[in-house]
Structure 1
Amino acid sequence: MHTEQTSLDDDAVLLVGHGSRREKSNEQVRTLASKLERHLSLPVDAAYIELAEPSIADAIETLAPTCRSLTVVPLSLFAASHVKNDVPMAVQVARTKHDDMTFHFGSHLGIHPSIVDLLDERVRGVEADLGVERGDDDVAVVLCARGSSDPDSNGDVHKLARLLYEGREFTRVESTFIGVTSPRLEETLHTVAKDRPDAVVVLPYMLGDGVLTQRIIDKTETFGGEYPYVTAGASGPLGTDDRLVDVLADRCREARSGSVEMSCDTCKYKVELSGYEDDHGGARAMLRSLVHQAEHADRSDVGDDPHVHDAPGKHVAVCTNQTCAASGAATVLEQLRQQARKSDDCDVHVSRSSCLGQCGDGPIVAVYPDSIWYGGVTPDDTERIVSSHLERDRIVSDLVHQSL
């Protein structure tokens, strides 16, 4: 993979993976970056949102001295919080630091004919292993994705399953999830079994063979034991197949031509969706707060400012997604609001947030623009957060979970 460029006129691409504690998963991102570099005949480097190095910011700093134009493409199956918030925020920060560079931001992998073809090939591989033949035997397919708190992302899973069904001789193609939302894999498999197909093929809709992929495979094996009259098998993940490289190349070309289309009409961060009316927090609200604060930074020097309000000094987001909610996040949220209202020296806006990506370590409380995250916060901790951090800018060090 390319590590240095020799011409300031060169364009470059930054492929952004999620990042994992498993080095094998991080290596997959680097492998795809290398393949994409050969495909585009452009330098392509890899970066990660979290859990691995380099970060997006560090990768851009490395590329900036020898690159005039950079296309940033997220290696993500669907557009959930990271694609809609974290990566764009990093690109926007980079634009302010490197005003002599041109940045293009590409779309996620999403729904693409090459991916549908890849899934079809994965099904054929399992059919061969099970000794069944499509058309002669009744084959049901279950497409299992990770699951998200973003309805737009979950909706795309159902669309992809339908496209896989169209024009192919499957008995049915069902979409399901391994976590976060429903229907869950076990429920879907039991429902499919009622129709007594000859075979059930489960497709883990994952890039790598991590914990969730293995969990899908294990649950498929358990299902096969519970229903001996149904032959069941699971495929491997998408991996580093060349068709993914084809999709990434298309996403790069779209970005460079300014023709990227995001699904803003069904994005919970941009429109009100039934059941998600309160999800106005998270990274979107943090970004809004940062931008708003910057716009008002020199207000005192303006005199007759036409604005009728000030940006809050700080923005506090409390994750109220499933695992944090189970740990008492709602009470923490309310206590922070009450403590802030009681304070005479606290210029803060407190809001609920969707998943902040630290499941199991919550409740998570993020304070911006300080970029301080507190973890395992209890209602008893809220007074200290307000009196020390929000009033006097003194970080409550024993609660710090992550500094961004």
Structure 2
Amino acid sequence: MTTATEHVVLVGMSVREVDARERLHELAREHSASVAFLQFGDPSLSRELARLADAGERSIVLVGVSLGTLAPAVSWLRRVAAHWCRERAGHQPEVDVATGLLRDEGDLGVLLTDTRPLTGTEPGLTSAAWEDVPGHRHQVLVCRGPRCTALGSDASAEALVLALMEHGLGDDDVLVTHTGCQFPCNRAPVVSVQPDDVWYGGVDPGAAREIVAGHLVAGRPVETRRLPRTRPPLG
């Protein structure tokens, strides 16, 4: 269990937690904690750790938060925090990491009873497996701009990934990438498939599964969901 001298940081692990930042901030206020994000959101984990260290904090406990199914594992939280520790100059606080992810707000107390300190032996941010561009044949760009997010693009992204898994497709087949606003916002949620230059609108979870089965598996764009696309000539 944390003590009065330990500062807790709730770390959103995926874009879904960025969307739910107010919920995280409310929980943090209830526990005199702060909030950071592993990806997409601000402040980043590294920035929040630097702020706390500069303020003289001596002991920090990180708790990863996952409100969906697509968050990376706790090991990534340890990797990023350990990288910050290795690069940090000056005062460096002790950093512990909860061994599990917070999925229900009521479980925070339990998670805080099971933490492990960073040891300095955690893997770094590079790997031979991440040296080359993946050999994917399609890249699916899922818009996570404010309008698409408000209209459920998180559920669409989840359905897309799960459908790809059901068809046995991985990153070397279809690379899924979350993006900022792609336009056209009135057709949200928007998804585009490259290099085919095919754009889809109104992509709810059912449509996401259609796109996987029809376009990404069978090779036929789903015309009922496809958006018109025009390009001016070069020059």
State TM-score, norm by structure 1.
0.24
Q: More helix by proportion, 1 or 2?
A: 1
Higher relative contact order (CA 8 A, sep 6+): 2
State TM-score, norm by structure 2.
0.40
